[in-house]
Structure 1
Amino acid sequence: MPKLPIDGHTRAGTVSVMILITGATGTIGSEVVRRLTARGEPLRALTRDPSRAPSGVETVVGDLDRPESLAPAVAGVEAVFLLTQGGPSAARHDLAMVEAARSAGVRKIVKLSSIGLDVLDESEVDWHREGERAVRDSGLAWTMLRPSAFASNALRWAAPIREGQPIPNLTGNAAQGVVDPRDVAEVAADALVSSKHEGEIYTLTGPELLTTADQADRLGVAIGTALTTVDVPLGSVRAQLLASGMDPEFADATVTGLEIIRSGRNAVLADGVERALGRPPTSFTAWATDHAPAFRS
């Protein structure tokens, strides 16, 4: 039987096609699942641990570190949301899913990448560069999403805020186009079910450039508490990451990323959200207001 176009439109009407979600329990993946479920789209979640899979969604056990386990996940799938954790394993994981998708006859991949590919030179390391190249060269339809810093990263400040402590500032006075993860997920969901985003690279930012102090001010207004920040030297950041058990390569790359932000190179505003969704991006103030309870005692 011939495959249906990914947007599901035929002369006989509209039908749905199976979509595979990787990273379905994370910040972005869970939001993508929620949006597609609300639209009535059939979904399948790839997971290593079925006990953590989202409820009400078909689940298949598989591991990007075991490429041979991916065949059941992509069987009968038309579109894949490819979310791989940034790190030394990202390229290997991306390549494993791209190969599995090609072998299974998947039609489209929507990859969650990084704004780093907009601001870094070819000589500088970005863990998503090889994966993007593999997706583009796969012969499949594709859409790339390159988000800036997530507004939800502020949730890491919840504990010190509740304890009356200053917010740790890892990025100095540098500003970023902080993006609401819900915007990223909405773009991803639409790209998975519509052909209009194919071949597009969307750099996704919020509507304004914000420093950590700016975010603290807006969050303080949302929760009704004046907030302060304290600068954390990058040497201390690296020491804390290593003490937590992080791989040294990952820790070094994290610090390098923070150095790039501190230098001002990630002070980027882009129109990706508006181009994809036809509306302005959500402000950090709106995100903070919606998530205020998480920061209150």
Structure 2
Amino acid sequence: MILVTGATGTIGSEVVRQLTARGEKVRALTRDPAKARVPSGVEVIRGDYLDPGSLEAAMSGVTAAFLVGVPGPDTRHDQDLVASARAAGVRRLVKLSAIATGDPAVGPSGTWHLAGEQAVQESGAQWTVLRPSSFASNTLSWAEAVGAGEPVPNLSGDGPQGVVDPRDVSEVAVRALLDGRYAGRTYTLTGPETISVPGQAAVLAAVLGRPVTTHDLSPEEAREHLRAWGLGEANAEGVLAGSAFVRKGGNAVVTEDVPEVLGRPARTYREWAEDHREAFAPA
């Protein structure tokens, strides 16, 4: 039995789908099972990171677990997940982290996954840490603006990133959950090229056949934008510092980790955009 936490999120839902397609037994952890949309045969179980008892029940009988914490300054969620897994005797843990974790130049968000990474490494289980770059799917947040022909918000200027397709991240996670060959490694997962927000907008415009423009947010506009997302002050400041890091070129990183694990090239942003063009249909 493989437990997937964050099972309704961007990566977790795709991990569930891919594992199920392989015929694996999957248990999906979610706070609201009634709203979960999962493939047939998946066991859905309620779990809340603030309720350690629910985590212990979710880990019972599990052989491998995909751990998705709650990004932010409170690291207890990651530590509680690992503690529950350890108590249940889970033999293999795959932790979803973030690129540049541990780099002080990133600012506060560079520490958000450190405790979780340390916890899995000291758990006694086989462990793998995945540090993905910015997700291609982050541009889905542009859909309303693009559909209305309005500029999309840009927090990171012309800073390039090794934008990664979340399907590739999920596929690497599945390999690590099923195969001990990937244990004891930290993988930095990127696409095959670096691309900036204006670069992504240009690719999307070419795919859609209509203009996609960007608007560089001022510091106050950026804070208001993050508040509208529902981020608290500490999380927002972490995102702003991380955006400044990207703007200065700090995240201009491309690795061969995706090809190494999957045996094929990482998908480009253009491939992702072509596969998701319907999300940007005119309003």
Structure 1 length-normalised TM:
0.90
The one of 212, 215, 221 aligned to 1:236: 221
Match of 1:14 in 2: none
Matched-pair identity in %:
49
Match of 2:20 in 1: 37
- Classify the secondary structure of the residue corresponding to 2:87: helix
Task: Report the CA distance shift for 1:221/1:244 in structure 2 as closer, same or farther (over 3 A).
Answer: closer
Give yes or no for the alignment of 1:104 onto 2:88: yes
- Count matched residues: 279
Report the Cα distance in structure 2 between the residues aligned to 1:268 and 1:88, rounded to whole angstroms. Answer: 25
Match of 1:116 in 2: 100
Report the Cα distance in structure 2 between the residues aligned to 1:31 and 1:152, rounded to whole angstroms. Answer: 12
Give yes or no for the alignment of 1:246 onto 2:226: no
- Classify the secondary structure of the residue corresponding to 2:220: helix
Report the Cα distance in structure 2 between the residues aligned to 1:123 and 1:287, rounded to whole angstroms. Answer: 29
**1:8-157 equivalence runs, <5 A:** 18-53=1-36, 54-56=38-40, 57-89=42-74, 91-117=75-101, 119-120=103-104, 125-157=110-142
- Classify the secondary structure of the residue corresponding to 1:70: helix
Report the Cα distance in structure 1 between the residues aligned to 2:72 and 2:193, rounded to whole angstroms. Answer: 28
Task: Report the CA distance shift for 1:122/1:147 in structure 2 as closer, same or farther (over 3 A).
Answer: closer
List alignment gaps of at least 5 residues for structure 2: none
Match of 1:217 in 2: 202
List alignment gaps of at least 5 residues for structure 1: 1-17
Does structure 2 conserve the Cα–Cα contact (< 8 Å) formed by 1:142 and 1:198? yes
The one of 254, 259, 282 aligned to 2:267: 282
Shift of 1:119: 4.2
Cα root mean square deviation, aligned = 1.6
Deviation track 1:244-283 (CA, whole Å, cap 9, x = no partner) reads 6531111111111111111111111111101111111000
Shift of 1:64: 1.2
Shift of 1:121: 5.6
Report the Cα distance in structure 1 between the residues aligned to 2:46 and 2:166, rounded to whole angstroms. Answer: 26
Structure 1 runs (4+) greater than 6 angstroms displaced? none
Report the Cα distance in structure 2 between the residues aligned to 1:24 and 1:244, rounded to whole angstroms. Answer: 21
Does structure 2 conserve the Cα–Cα contact (< 8 Å) formed by 1:208 and 1:269? yes
Shift of 1:211: 0.8
Does structure 1 conserve the Cα–Cα contact (< 8 Å) formed by 2:145 and 2:152? yes
Task: Report the CA distance shift for 1:153/1:144 in structure 2 as closer, same or farther (over 3 A).
Answer: same
Does structure 2 conserve the Cα–Cα contact (< 8 Å) formed by 1:162 and 1:296? yes
Deviation track 1:151-185 (CA, whole Å, cap 9, x = no partner) reads 00010111111111112111101100000000000
Deviation track 1:108-157 (CA, whole Å, cap 9, x = no partner) reads 10000000226446985420011101110111100110000000001011
Shift of 1:98: 0.7
Task: Report the CA distance shift for 1:145/1:245 in structure 2 as closer, same or farther (over 3 A).
Answer: closer
Greater alpha carbon shift after TM alignment, 225-234 vs 131-140: 225-234
